[in-house]
Structure 1
């Protein structure tokens, strides 16, 4: 229970500091200076390209198709088990939930990005990071759905992959100067508040997968 509590408290504190332009935002400025220095000290187009590629993994494509595909795959593999259909609405509802969580917050906080350009009329702000939320929630829910129908080893691999993708997207956004660090941190916290209860609400991993198939995905 400590994990969602910590995530909720951190999200509230960061949001308060963003709204009040508080001293915690100094962390963002310090990290950005460090990243800018790293860019100058180690000019490498390959690393910069990698940062952009990682950032793009948080776009609606590919994240949402991966989520929906995982839901369909989990339903198909669990078709002989009870509630085999459950992954399909969970995946679809998750895809619709992400913008409902992110877009209103962006409009309310209206935070300028790292480049400092003022927001134009009707433009959403940068806080929280939509790409980070999309990646962390989409890949995280995909891993949770697949964990119901694969063996423990494959479930661990899918969970590790979701974590690495989430971290990679966040790192890519900060490295590429697309987002402040706290934009990313807030979205990670938001994702925890979605994934934690979902992980406990979904049927336990393994049971549906063993009924649907005797082997796990490799």
Structure 2
């Protein structure tokens, strides 16, 4: 018997599904673009589009087996973790300028990291991924999110 019930870990891992995470990013990008942050919205959309372009070839190249399915391959890196990280953190970076200034601007990023951490935890506890699969996705997607953050900062500093 597992310490955390399967129904909970399954729901947590589902946070990294494209139909769950992508709409969050698209809504945030639409809101930011409407508020004038088109550069940041475009950067977030490009970052999300790059996730499968980075993850799929690496999965095929490594052909790593999963923890519970050693006969199956393609578990490294975790696509669900990459999707969750880019979608939720990208949305947070886009929404951060509109959340009430410096003293409250941290909460969207904190929520995004909690959602990403919940996804990663669910994937590992459910047995879908090894912890290294999750870590690789986080490290691989960090430069994408740094670019999104830079795009959002440039937009905020511009006049008008």
TM-score range, shorter-chain basis?
0.7 to 0.9
Structure 2 contact 51–141 (Cα < 8 Å) conserved: no
Residue equivalent to 2:139:
189
Deviation at 1:50, TM superposition (A): 1.4
In the alignment, the residues of structure 2 paired with residue 193 and residue 89 of structure 1 have an alpha-carbon distance, to the nearest angstrom, of 16
- The runs of at least 4 consecutive aligned structure 1 residues that moved more than 4 Å come to 204-208
1:166 to 116, 120, 126: 116
- Work out the number of aligned pairs and report it: 158
Contact kept in structure 1, 2:40 and 2:148, CA below 8 Å = no
Structure 2: any 5+ residue segments left out of the alignment?
A: none
Determine the C-alpha separation between the residues in 2 that align with 1:207 and 1:156: 18
Structure-2 separation of matches of 1:198 and 1:90:
5
Question: Aligned-pair RMSD on alpha carbons?
Answer: 2.2
Counterpart in the other structure of 2:94 = 145
Using the alignment, how far apart are the partners of 2:40 and 2:29 within structure 1?
5
Are the counterparts in 1 of residues 59 and 76 from structure 2 also a CA contact under 8 Å? yes
Q: Partners of 1:103 and 1:158 in 2: how far apart?
A: 29
Higher radius of gyration, 1 or 2: 1
Q: With structure 1 as the length reference, what TM-score do the two structures score? A: 0.65
- Aligned twin of 1:155: 105
